[in-house]
A = this chain, B = another copy of it.
């Protein structure tokens, strides 16, 4: 390994050396570099976003941010770059927005291999292309290796939403739809990290959900309200944290049918073995939503027709009783409360 391929403090120092890193290793690996007049190639203090042609004052701009500290950087089914793009695309999507542009802020330790940095940027690029978002501006800082021994990526994103979807909009009778199996991300990451071998190939579900959800987000009632009443992406804290938050904020109760919650058998057995609750495990390619009952079948069909929604299922419904509580009906018919988790049982998942 030559010195040239290692990050040094000067790569974060705002001069020629940083410019070289940014133009070669970053810009050189990103395809969608503009969403308005000023984009990534302009290397200005920021970037601009052009308003969409169909923009009108009833639209809102949605903004979100996530920093990613996942460990290890590469894992079955993805890496920190893919995760950083998907995380932000998905937070925009579950708010009802069409993702338009992302920022890319990197903090990297001195001594980090430049080739690995480029691999990560290439993965961000691939994912951004899939999600049809541009990466329009960024920042690069370096830290001495005795103070940070890896890379941290923050992506912020903006999108345009004709109808904002909140996480507090559940109403009694709404159906609860989950777009696929739970626990894949957290369990595959943990297994890979700890060197567990479950004899089954398990991969992270990390994927951008905007295409999967696009058509469902367009379904409206005759008076223009969205068929989807509330939505979240069940990341840290898993399904449990998300559905509890939605339920509490909406002042309703939710009853989930345990038998209908899609879980891969590898995830189920890993959880049993490790004493983990699959409902608390992070997902990075799933959405949980409330849907007005008359549209539930239509949404389900749309989800099933997409590669990321093959395992989508109606997993429960909203009730007026049990306010603020999520109840789980077990296969033998009894009800138990699904509590808001204290934390996420697996650290460093995103």
Contacts and interface: CB of A to CB of B under 8 A. Distances in A.
Contacts of A237: 13-15, 18
A10 B343 contact: yes
30 contacts: A13-B343, A13-B344, A14-B238, A15-B236, A15-B241, A15-B343, A16-B341, A16-B342, A17-B342, A19-B340, A38-B164, A44-B168, A46-B62, A46-B65, A46-B92, A46-B97, A48-B60, A51-B57, A51-B61, A55-B57, A63-B101, A63-B136, A63-B158, A65-B138, A67-B139, A69-B141, A141-B350, A144-B347, A156-B156, A158-B158
Contacts of A106: 67
A191 interface: no
Given A45-B232, A139-B67, A36 B61 contact: yes
A216 B241 CA distance: 49
Interface string A34-60: 001110001111111111000101011
Interface string A81-97: 00000000011101101
A116 B235 CA distance: 28
A343 B103 contact: no
A340 B15 contact: yes
Nearest to A154: B154
Nearest to A348: B143
A65 B147 CA distance: 22
Interface in A215-238: 232-233, 235-238
Contact of A63 (B13, B103, B143): B103
Interface in A17-34: 17-19
A7 interface: no
Contacts of A168: 42, 44
Contacts of A233: 45
Interface residues of A, number: 88
A282 B13 CA distance: 10
B42 A166 contact: yes
A49 B63 contact: yes
Given A18-B236, A67-B152, 13 more contacts: A9-B343, A13-B343, A14-B241, A16-B340, A16-B343, A38-B166, A44-B166, A45-B167, A46-B157, A51-B61, A107-B107, A107-B152, A152-B152
A103 B64 contact: yes
